[in-house]
Amino acid sequence: MAQPRLFSLVLLTVALGAQALTPSHHLSLSDVARLQALLSQPFTDLASAYYSIVGLSKLGASVADENDACHFLKAQLDPMSVDSLFFAAEASQAISDCEIPVSNETRDILLAAVSEDSTVTQIFRAVSALSSLGLPLASQEVVGALVARIAKEDNVLAITTALQTATRLSQQAELGGILEEIEDLAARLDDLGGVYLQFEEGLEATALFVTAAYTLSDHVDTEPPLKEDQVIQLVNSVFSKKSWHSLSEAFSVACAAAALSNNRFQVPVIVSAQGPATVSHSQPILQLLVTDVLSNPLVSASVVVESAQAVASKSVILNQAPFSLRDGIFELNFMASQPASGYYQFSVAVTGDTRLVANQVELKVKVSTEVAITNMDLSVVDKDQSIGTKTSRVDYPFKAKGSFTADSHQNFAMTFQLVDVNTGVELTPHQTFVRLHNPKTGQEVVFVAEPDSKNLYKFELDTAERKSEFDSMSGTYALHLIVGDATLENPILWNVADVVLKFLDEEAPAAIQSKTLYMPKPDIQHLFREPEKKPPTVVSNAFTALVLSPFLLLLILWFKLGANISNFSFSPSSVLFHVGHACMLGLMYVYWTHLNMFQTLKYLAIIGSLTFLAGNRMLAQKAVKRIASK
């Protein structure tokens, strides 16, 4: 008895622990339709005919007019060209009753193309044409040529083409070496963020690789060396692009989709909710789409909820509940388990086929409900509790009959309960607001009503305390209750009553204040720095003359004292000295008007040294003269 419980518990922990990658992209039905439309374009040449016809056949559709297509192929065929033969042969295979005429020359041309000297693409096309036209070919020779070519052309597209070629060869041939190339190529894929796995050569190369890998693996009946995560990442890469710019790209995506939905080893599963993943009393059924990458429902699979756990309370509601299949959609009546409203984490497993990949999916399901407001009691309570409270009950959606008056001595109080309509359980939604709106001034003040421990909501308005929020504007305010939550189907906006609020020291209506907030503000005039007040020019000039006047006085004094230059000797050094000294004074003036310190110092150094030398000489001569005359 306990054993199955224990086993399911182990499975539960394993399921919860395994955070496997799930595909984020696939081809929805509209994507498939778009792909088909692109492939159904009218043919321009043999290559486009090939892509269209074979691509459509991979998607399970067919060309509009098969006869026309066959005629087109036969008309456009160039029996001398290997490429032409390839396109025509492959396309004709996809159309019923279309035979391409074969001649000995055709066979010879194709066989000649199978050699070490042709490119891999040529070999592939020749081999494919030969096999489609039903002509014999020597598989071992082909293998030899392929191996030689792979060694020479070591790029992704060439090796992929080689893999494709190998799918056309006999199973008895030595395909082991070529089979190993799948693993080598897979190692060359670029991992983008752990979500995408693709070649840097682009989408077409990746899609062709996927096709070749699965086709070849099926052909030799060996499981492809791709891990589950890699497969999912490849799925994401190939199907992330929803509009294809060229016919060859669309063709490669169609081939990859066909390979991924129908091969012997790995079939990725896409699990998604039909519409929003929400259940409620009116819609109790959770619908899931379980499909392959082409959005074909996997009708043979069995889908089971391994566990459904409430996100908030972490309690497990469901354990190993199966989905039932109806019209290609898997359904489960979740409301039958009577879950409380909120979010649930579903762990879904898809079984029934050993090939299924990414068959463990985590899904978040919302259970929504309707809320009812009960026991709404409004009252005006005196602050000092001397006068008894007058409580009136109001029923939703009616409005209270009288208005409630509250001045600064009183508090206005409101209590109510929020219950689930269907189960009667008390709810605590995210948003429970009380809005007071003054229709005259346009003021709006919003408060939050909070539940106490018994889930009873209380709102109290202390008139005196809250007067700043109301700007002390007395008047009649309409009181609304707003209840909302993501899990509520009926959010509520209820005009409960009118409340007349009386505030003390009412200020003059400053309600218009807010309107001027967004009006242009007064211009700021820039004040430039006023220049300092200069004294009048007369004063400056007068003082300049005054300051220079002592010089006159000096000259007069010197004259009176009898200072003279009669002793001036015209020796070269004294002349030079005086000239140099005069130059230095002149340099000072030039410094004041034109130069900067560095230039001045430069000139000063030159003139100064000359003056110094001359002056030294002159003074020495003077000293000699003085001492001699003593």
What is the binding site for another protein (CB under 8 A)? 532-535, 539-540, 543, 546-547, 550-551, 553-554, 557-558, 561-563, 581, 584-585, 588, 591-592, 597, 600, 604, 608, 615-616, 619-620, 622-623, 626
Rounded-to-integer distance, Cα 502 and Cα 452, Å: 29
Nearer to another protein, 383 or 625 (CB): 625
Rounded-to-integer distance, Cα 125 and Cα 141, Å: 15
CB-based contacts of 611: which residues, under 8 Å, 6+ apart? 576, 577, 580, 581, 583, 584
Nearer to another protein, 151 or 538 (CB): 538
Buried (b) or exposed (e) across 531-570, using 16+ Cβ within 10 A?
A: eeeeeeeeeeeeeeeeeeeeeeeeeeeeeeeeeeeeeeee
Nearer to another protein, 192 or 557 (CB): 557
From the CB of 532, what's the least distance to another protein, in Å? 6
Nearer to another protein, 519 or 561 (CB): 561
Rounded-to-integer distance, Cα 97 and Cα 65, Å: 13
DSSP E strands in 240-370: the ranges are 267-268, 270-273, 278-279, 285-291, 302-310, 316-322, 324-326, 329-333, 342-351, 356-357, 360-367
From the CB of 591, what's the least distance to another protein, in Å? 5
Rounded-to-integer distance, Cα 67 and Cα 521, Å: 79
Strand, coil or helix: what is 518? coil
List 478's β-bridge partners, or say none.
437, 498
Nearer to another protein, 398 or 558 (CB): 558
Closest CA to 251 of 45, 83, 35, 515: 35
From the CB of 526, what's the least distance to another protein, in Å? 25
Nearer to another protein, 493 or 585 (CB): 585
Nearer to another protein, 514 or 544 (CB): 544
Buried (b) or exposed (e) across 517-527, using 16+ Cβ within 10 A?
A: eeeeeeeeeee
Report phi then psi at 477, rounded to 5: -115, 135
From the CB of 564, what's the least distance to another protein, in Å? 10
Nearer to another protein, 494 or 603 (CB): 603
Nearer to another protein, 606 or 619 (CB): 619
Strand, coil or helix: what is 264? coil
Nearer to another protein, 524 or 597 (CB): 597
Nearer to another protein, 494 or 591 (CB): 591
Amino acid, res. 428: T
Q: Where are the alpha helices (DSSP H) in 455-594?
A: 513-516, 537-561, 572-593
H helix or E strand, kind and range, residue 448 = strand 444-448
From the CB of 557, what's the least distance to another protein, in Å? 4
Tokens 């799948």 correspond to what residue? 182
Rounded-to-integer distance, Cα 540 and Cα 545, Å: 9
Q: The dihedral of CA 582, 587, 588, 592: what is its sign?
A: positive
From the CB of 604, what's the least distance to another protein, in Å? 7
Question: Count of alpha carbons within 13 Å of 523, Cβ hemisphere only?
Answer: 3
